[in-house]
Chains A and B, each alone.
Chain A
Amino acid sequence: MENQEIISKVNDFLIDEFELEENQLIPSASLKETLEIDSLDYVDLVVIIEKNFGFKVKGEDFATIKSLQDFYDYIIGKAHVN
């Protein structure tokens, strides 16, 4: 899967499942402060990632992810390993 395809897929589920607006999805946006994704949401992100990409991640990994770009990079990294 190409990186852009992964980013686009992430954006789609953030819009569909987390009800975020497309214009909020700026790479520098803070997951916590701007996108209001909190530690409980990490649990749902694990489920959604498994559903969309077919691999499992650990919710606690998200604690070190600050921005949306970090999140893209994390998923891209995992996607290439899996």
Chain B
Amino acid sequence: MNRVVITGMGIYSTIGKNIEEVNKSLYEGKSGIGFEQIRKELGFRSGLTGILERPNLKGELKRRQRVGMAEEGEYAYVATVEALKQAGIDDDFLDTRDVGILYGNDSSARSVVDSYDLLKEKKDTALLGSGAIFQSMNSTITMSLSTIFRLRGINLTVSAACASGSHSVGMGFYFIRSGLQDVIICGGGQEINYHSMGSFDGLAAFSTRENEPQKASRPFDRDRDGLVPSGGAATLILESYESAVKRGAPILAEIVGYGFSSNGDHISVPNVEGPAKSLEMALLDAKLKAGDIDYINAHATATPVGDLNEAQAISKIFGEKTPFVSSTKAMTGHEMWMGGASEVIYSILMMQNSFVAPNINFDNPDEYSAKLNIAAETIKNHNIDIFLSNSFGFGGTNSSLIVKKIK
């Protein structure tokens, strides 16, 4: 079995538009959350959202490459350019090796809404343009990136709700470990537009702390009142250790364990057993004990039940003495389809720079979060050799990844 390493990372997020900016924001505990008035005008319960502008790719990409690219595809493109650059993957490499793509995404609503509005006005599908169909599909990111970067390996989208990004990394890990591929572009992208968020808002799962947007996302805090939807994209280049060493690529970290499970339970309410099973499986896969983990990047989105159940799952596996735990969603909001990939990047940055990013807004614990060693402030000079990153999604899909520093 091949060892699987990460040789490149790139990100476009509400807390920074590249790795360097994101690293700074994580260290400083900077929030990317704001308020969008139009959501209130449309009847949203909450106007809170991650704030992110779309990149201008005119001049960088050809018209045909841009026309079929949805918002999250633009974010993913920018993140992937950064990741490929860090990995030292150039045009020649892309043209001579079978590079794959497994990217997490689970919606692309804007194009559907816009096309339908236009259709009502024009009453003619011939006037909808050529890009809408490609923008509207869940696989819009893999479709765009595989054609732009001329990829010839595995090419598919991983749709697993808020665990999409994490499973994409897990699947990439399996493909490379088994020898089926040498290099795969993994990651997750998430649209941030209000067109896609109304129905989720309708579930009353979003925080309504609108008078203090940057304090609204409060994972594990006693007074949390819901998540804040957010988005962007995060890309990781997964590569076999052998390939990375052979071409002298930078080795940022090694993936050593992937655990997954399905709750087989409620469509939206998480439980304790499913996540605990996924955690245990990842540890078993990595041949590690709970005590070997130096940091847990929690899924915790700041919903009352979700955080409570995750806290119990972590306690169940780690016992009374947990490693440092933080949910970076306190800063980023819930990056949903992107989150599992971005949170691996956030954790690698902490590992590389020896700190634990703060779970900001954690002012008071509840009964279960009190049992976790939550980093409410930035923990400086903290060595992380191994971390665990959890992602859970609607439908009870769970994913846990364990990543190790290469020494």
Chain A contact residues, CB within 8 Å of chain B: 17-19, 38, 40-41, 43-44, 46-47, 50, 56, 58-59
Q: Which residues on the B side are within 8 Å of A50 (C-beta)?
A: 127
Q: List 13 A-B contacts (CB under 8 A).
A: A17-B63, A19-B63, A38-B64, A41-B64, A43-B126, A43-B129, A44-B129, A44-B131, A46-B126, A47-B126, A47-B129, A50-B127, A56-B124
In the assembled complex, B130 has its CB within 8 A of some CB on chain A: yes
In the assembled complex, B137 has its CB within 8 A of some CB on chain A: no
A37 to chain B: closest residue by CB? B64
In the assembled complex, B67 has its CB within 8 A of some CB on chain A: yes
Q: How many A-B residue pairs have CB under 8 A?
A: 29
Min CB distance B32 to A, Å, is: 33
B59 to chain A: closest residue by CB? A19
> Secondary structure at chain A's binding surface: helix, strand, loop or mixed?
helix
Assess whether B63 is in contact with A18, with CB atoms less than 8 Å apart.
yes
CA distance A56 to B126 in the complex (A): 9
Assess whether B130 is in contact with A41, with CB atoms less than 8 Å apart.
yes
Min CB distance A28 to B, Å, is: 23
Contact with A along B103-140 (1 / 0, CB 8 A): 00000000000000000000010111111000000000
Assess whether B64 is in contact with A46, with CB atoms less than 8 Å apart.
no
A48 to chain B: closest residue by CB? B129
Q: Which residues on the B side are within 8 Å of A41 (C-beta)?
A: 64, 130
Assess whether B64 is in contact with A40, with CB atoms less than 8 Å apart.
yes
CB within 8 A of B67: which of A44, A46, A56, A59? A44
Q: Which residues on the A side are within 8 Å of B130 (C-beta)?
A: 40-41, 43-44
CA distance A5 to B374 in the complex (A): 69
Q: Which residues on the B side are within 8 Å of A47 (C-beta)?
A: 126-129
Residue among B64, B67, B128 with most chain A CB within 10 A: B64
B66 to chain A: closest residue by CB? A19
B124 to chain A: closest residue by CB? A56
